[in-house]
Structure 1
């Protein structure tokens, strides 16, 4: 497949999605499905494999994200109904002040995001963002975008996040130095893409869509007897701690031992979230006076608004898989490798291209680092630690529509497609660009 043809296919597909969903107001799921199928056929995929490719991509994404969204939504509902989200919101606003809640959410996002994937950190913290915005009368975007920026920065730039560990291995980088430079570079990047851009976006992108999820997570008045701050925070942080311990299992216990396997099991994202959700049924439910019937009603009714989110997340995965199986992503990646440029810039560009081609930032970082690893091994004078950071920065670029996070942000925040492009896609691009610029600046001193 020729490079110009591949570029035209990607560009045309994205433009078609924007026009059909935003302008013609067609159903987003059907539009994603139709555009994905048409793209694959035009690219020359055999007709009998087109639908299977879409199903494989959608199933792969939903197999992980669907469970995370369901469990996270139940946990969020218990936080809301028990008043736990109000307790955290009141405590955070009391410490940070109403005028700095966006900075507080950025710090919380940086801490929570270290051991967990973006989707998990998001579903854990979004109920707090809803309640904090409502109680402090702060625009939702001003609170939610800094949180999202922090989660994305930790995902891309700061070990021991699972995504950066992939690049660390491929580049044979020193983890201590990578953490040091990740914090030095990631902190100003999070500030620029978070509170700074969040305040700008909140002023220029008014929310116009009805948001059923916001109504679900916000009570008209907080309960009179709120749960303790310690119990609420412990419930939220439990999956974070379990995942962190699970990722460190090989350092804690002998590999393949019973303890090692148990730590890996409970550190699994789905298991960790399930444990925290079940715990919330007692700590924020039964112990607060709710009956089993009431808790069952909470968990059943909160899942209805997430149905469209799951469908769109799956369709985004299907769209990304069609780009890969049709050969479009390979053609664009090969073109990038043919460009002669500094390795830091090439590693970043390759990650950006894979990001656009497949959607997943984790896949982008893994693919780009596996390609660039052997090239870096033959080069001299290039810091492996900075290669990790530029690859991570490029892996979150653009916030494309074949990324599950795009649709997650759109639906949770009640945005239109153009509004999501103006906010989330720009935010992700700011992280990518400033991450590259600061890494190039740091290369002068390493």
Structure 2
């Protein structure tokens, strides 16, 4: 089959995928599987090998990322329900002082965004932002805009979030190097985004009267507002409310809240700042030590072998789950049944995320098995554009078209993998390519993104104000992220 025919099939496949998700409102997992089967048959994959190709793509992808995503969700859930996230945010506000509270909430969003899903982080931190806005009588957006953008940045760039994990596995990047390069790079993006948001929030934007009354209501003097009303359609919820998360393909979505409930152990003091910070950074440090051991120590070295095992992402996260269960649960009064219940409650919300990632792996496998991947690689080679720029541009285009960061990253990785293999890039360069895809996945959060609607509803913004603030800021931060990866390219 000619390259032109294969490229037309690929174009028809991606177009059909977008139509199914956007117009027909088909669930992304189902849409990816349907398109994968159609593309495989149209491109001439033998019918006898079709099921084998699909199973191979699903298995090779989920074998690597399913455990990581599930364990990461458990860590975030324990930190959330133990009160650790709120305690961490309050400690940062105390340490930074009232004048730097927006920066403190931005730092809280960045750090908590590593183990906690984007939408859960918003539910946890928004009531705190409401409280400080009420106390200071400053516009709510001053606090919420940089905080929300920080959490979305981490979601797009860094493991253990599903898009980043899937990309590193698909293109053969090293998760340790992605973290080693990505954490400081992401921190710079978040800091610059904070500075940009300060300029954006010098002017005031129209605010939903209901949210305004909720934040600035008469007689409100507490530092943090109490439980907010039920908000199934509005997407608002209280600090103490139990959250049933309807997470979309992106790993975040509209939060469906039940009646606010009291903390599970109100008589126990919340975890300390140092405890929460230590538990968040433990798996990161273990993964980084594993990467350093493999690069600096000789093969056969006992320490290298130990660090390689401890630094495997699955093992590092498993160790951290045990530490969180003990220090945030067992030592603070949770019995074993409660710990098991909390861990189990983290899994249903991420099940669809895992399946979407697996379906993305199927799509990538079909592109390779059908020869479409090589055809695309030939065309992209002839453009003369650097792989880094192609990764950013393609992820950005898919993100803008269908809204989901995770789907955009997985699809981009599947399309570009043959080109990246042919380019014979180093591990460091592949890590930068993964981060460039994350930059594209961060940008252009607009009306087809569940995260856009959740943020704007919680912040009380109308559609036009959301586009002028949230969309512009995320796009600016995505461009900054790509510029930083491009600046680092000659150094790796």
Q: 1:196-235 alignment to 2 at 5 Å?
A: 196=197, 212-213=244-245, 214=255, 220=261, 223=266, 225-235=269-279
Cα gap change, 1:248/1:430 in structure 2, threshold over 3 Å: closer, same or farther? same
2:150 is matched with: 146
Once residues 283 and 356 of structure 2 are traced to their aligned partners in structure 1, the CA distance between those partners, rounded to angstroms, is 25
Q: Do structure 1's residue 271 and structure 2's residue 315 form an aligned pair?
A: yes
Distance 2:192 2:366 in 1: 35
Within the candidate set 346, 349, 367, 1:302 is matched to 346
Q: Which residue of 1 aligns with 2:335?
A: 291
8 Å CA contact 2:290, 2:309 repeated in 1: yes
Which stretch shows the higher mean deviation, 140-149 or 363-372? 363-372
How do 1:170-189 and structure 2 match up within 5 A? 187=188
Structure-2 change in CA distance of 1:318 and 1:372 (3 Å): closer
Cα 1:281–1:437, aligned 2, differ >3 Å: closer, same or farther?
A: closer
SS of equivalent residue, structure 1 residue 359: helix
Total equivalences in the alignment? 391
Alpha-carbon distance, 1:3 to partner: 4.9
Return the offset for 1:226: 0.7
Residues 56, 362 of structure 2: 8 Å contact kept = yes
Give the CA deviation at 1:270: 0.5
- 439 and 397 in structure 1: CA distance in 2 versus 1, 3 angstrom threshold: closer
Q: 1:352 to 1:217 in 2, by over 3 A?
A: farther
Query: Is 1:314 matched with 2:314?
Result: no
Whether the 8 Å contact between 1:17 and 1:35 is mirrored in structure 2 is yes
- What secondary structure sits across from 2:26 in the alignment? coil
How far apart are residue 275 of structure 1 and its match?
0.6
**d(CA) in 2 for partners of 1:144 and 1:390?**
24
Post-superposition offset of 1:11: 3.5
State the match for 1:326 in structure 2.
Answer: 370
Q: 1:132 is matched with which residue? A: 125
Give 1:136 deviation, angstroms. Answer: 1.8
Distance (whole Å) between structure 2 residues aligned to residue 414 and residue 55 of structure 1: 35
Give secondary structure in 2 for the equivalent of 1:104.
Answer: helix
Q: Residues of 2 paired with 1:62 and 1:168: CA distance?
A: 16
User: For the Cα contact (< 8 Å) 2:294–2:304, is it kept in 1?
Assistant: yes
What SS does structure 2 have at the residue aligned with 1:212? strand
User: Any residues of structure 2 matched to 1:366-445 within 5 Å, and which?
Assistant: 371-372=422-423, 391=433, 394-396=436-438, 398-399=440-441, 433-434=479-480
**Is the 2:373–2:416 Cα contact (8 Å) retained in structure 1?**
no
CA distance in 2, matches of 1:67, 1:182: 22
Match of 1:335 in 2: 379
Offset, 1:294: 1.5
| Cα distance in 1 for residues equivalent to 2:119 and 2:147 | 10
Under a length normalisation based on structure 2, what TM-score does the superposition of the two structures give? Answer: 0.62
CA gap 1:66/1:248 in 2 versus in 1, 3 angstroms = same
For residues 184-195 of structure 1, the aligned pairs below 5 Å read 187=188, 191-192=192-193
For 2:387, which of 328, 347, 362 is the aligned residue? 347
Change (3 A) 1:358 1:324: farther
Q: 2:173–2:434: 8 Å Cα contact kept in structure 1?
A: no
Assess, with a 3 A threshold, how the Cα gap between structure 1 residues 286 and 70 changes in structure 2: closer, same or farther: same
Normalising by structure 1, report the TM-score. Answer: 0.68
**Equivalents in 2 of 1:332, 1:353: separation in Å?**
15
More helix by share: 1
Q: Report what 2:220 is aligned to.
A: none
Note the aligned Cα RMSD (angstroms).
5.1
Shift of 1:80: 2.1
* Residues 125, 229 of structure 1: alpha-carbon distance in 2 compared, 3 angstrom cutoff: farther
Q: Secondary structure at the match of 2:315?
A: helix
Q: Which runs of 5+ in 1 are unaligned?
A: 113-120, 156-160, 170-174, 377-384, 401-408
Specify whether residues 365 and 188 from structure 1 end up closer, same or farther in structure 2 by C-alpha distance, changes over 3 A only: farther
Q: Which blocks of at least 5 consecutive residues in structure 2 are unaligned?
A: 131-139, 160-164, 212-231, 236-242, 246-254, 399-407, 443-448, 456-462
Q: Secondary structure at the match of 1:285?
A: helix
The alignment partner of 2:386 has SS state of: helix
Could you say which residue in structure 2 is the equivalent of 1:359? 410
CA displacement at 1:94 relative to structure 2: 3.8
The CA distance in 2 between the partners of 1:144 and 1:58, in whole Å, is 32
Deviation at 1:389, TM superposition (A): 9.0
CA distance in 2, matches of 1:323, 1:269: 28
Partner of 1:249: 293
Picking from 240, 258, 281, the partner of 2:325 is: 281
C-alpha separation in 2, matches of 1:337 and 1:394: 18
- Decide whether aligned partners of structure 1 residues 220 and 2 sit closer, same or farther in structure 2, where only a CA change above 3 A counts: farther
Give distance in 2, aligned partners of 1:168 and 1:302: 27
CA–CA distance in structure 1, aligned partners of residues 4 and 390 of structure 2: 17
Q: CA deviation at 1:429?
A: 7.2
- Residue 23 of structure 1: how far off its partner (Å): 3.0
Give secondary structure in 2 for the equivalent of 1:338: helix
Other-structure match for 2:107: 104
Would you say 1:35 and 2:35 are equivalent positions?
A: yes
**Range with greater deviation from structure 2 (206-215 or 131-140):** 206-215
